[in-house]
Structure formats: structure tokens, C-alpha cells
Amino acid sequence: MTLKLSGIIVVLATGGVGFILWVALSLLRNLARSVLGHGEQSPAPQILHSIQCCHKECGADNPRAARFCRRCGTSLAGDTAGRWQRVA
Ligand SMILES: [Zn+2]
């Protein structure tokens, strides 16, 4: 009985130590990220590869792979070639 109880305590203690280590590590990681990566947070890279909605009153940025505007639902794939020619 006592042996079983001490076994349970050991298991709980091990789990607690592991948990504390995990929390400490994640805190350190967050700290390191906030110190090292200060001002280096890349601003949404998908904006660079986006298609602007051709709808006059929308103009929302959509992922290049998108077929329809995520804001107004206008088809984006329709005149892609024409827009590419205009760009180039
Ligand atoms: Zn739109």
C-alpha cells in the first residue's frame, strides 16, 4: 500500500517536473523570440503573391491561387491572361 502510494507520488512528481520544465522552456523560447526577432516579424508574405480584385468597389487582396474574391466573390480567374498582359 505504502509502496504503491510512493510510486504514484514519484509518477506525479516526475510529471510535475516535466510540466515545469516544459513551461520554462516555452517561456524561454517566447522570450528569445521577442528579444531576437524584435521588429523582424515578416508582414504577411502572401500579400506579395496576391491578386487584387478587379471589382471597382472592392480591390481586396486575394491569394494568387484564389479563383474568387474572398470579399465580394467576383471571379478572379476569368481575365487573368488579360491582366498579366497589362502588367507585362
Ligand atoms: Zn472583390
For residue 6, report the distance from its CA to the centre of ligand 1, in Å.
Answer: 65
- Ligand 1 centroid – CA 42 distance (Å): 25
Q: What is the pLDDT of residue 4?
A: 85
Q: Which residues surround ligand 1, an ion (CB under 5 A)?
A: 53, 55, 58, 60, 69, 71-72, 74
DSSP 10-53: HHHHHHHHHHHHHHHHHHHHHHHHHHHTTT-----GGGTTEEE-
- Where do the domains of the chain lie? 1-35, 46-87
pLDDT of residue 85: 53
Residue-wise pLDDT tens for the chain (88 aa)? 677 888 888 888 888 899 999 999 999 998 888 887 765 555 555 455 788 888 889 989 888 888 899 999 988 875 545 455 555 5
80 C-alpha to ligand 1 centroid (Å): 14
Predicted pLDDT of residue 46? 45
pTM over 0.75: no
